[in-house]
Amino acid sequence: MMILNDINIGISKIELDKSDLRIIDKSGRYCFRVVIYYNWKEIDNIKNGEKVEINFNEYILSENNASALIWPTNSYVKRITNDSLCFYFHFENIPETITYMNQRNVFDIVPSSLEVKVLLNHKDAKNGSIIYEI
């Protein structure tokens, strides 16, 4: 699930590799990226059924390839089974913390909230990465 400004924009693609978790919306206009490279040890130590709040290095929202750094209100990783994980991120009051990384210093819309939840299964990994096209 990917909900931007209280509108479900869907998910067309989920990618996970040793560096990043990337989620692309159905229109291909928005991409949410989390830098997870530094947190694999924490993720690997989560026990089945356990939910752990993890602060990742960077959370990036992109609109048409123009990026901005945002900071979550709530984020956690939950181990569902030995092989499956749930990543959850919730952002509120984005305009108060957003740092645009484009020349316009703005998106076409003002992102006020974002909620992303994805389930991944390690068994689906090929060559160290997982790609789901939905």
pLDDT at position 104: 85
Q: What pLDDT shows up at residue 48?
A: 97
Q: Round to whole Å and give the CA distance between 40 and 102.
A: 29
Q: At residue 20, what are phi and psi to the nearest 5 degrees?
A: -140, 155
Please choose, from the candidates 69, 71, 64, 58, the residue with its C-alpha nearest in 3D space to the C-alpha of residue 107.
64
CA dist 22 and 31 (Å) reads 7
pTM of the model: 0.95
Between CA 80 and CA 120 the distance in angstroms is 10
DSSP state of 64: T
pLDDT score at 122? 87
Residue 103: predicted pLDDT: 84
Q: Which residues of the chain have pLDDT under 50?
A: none
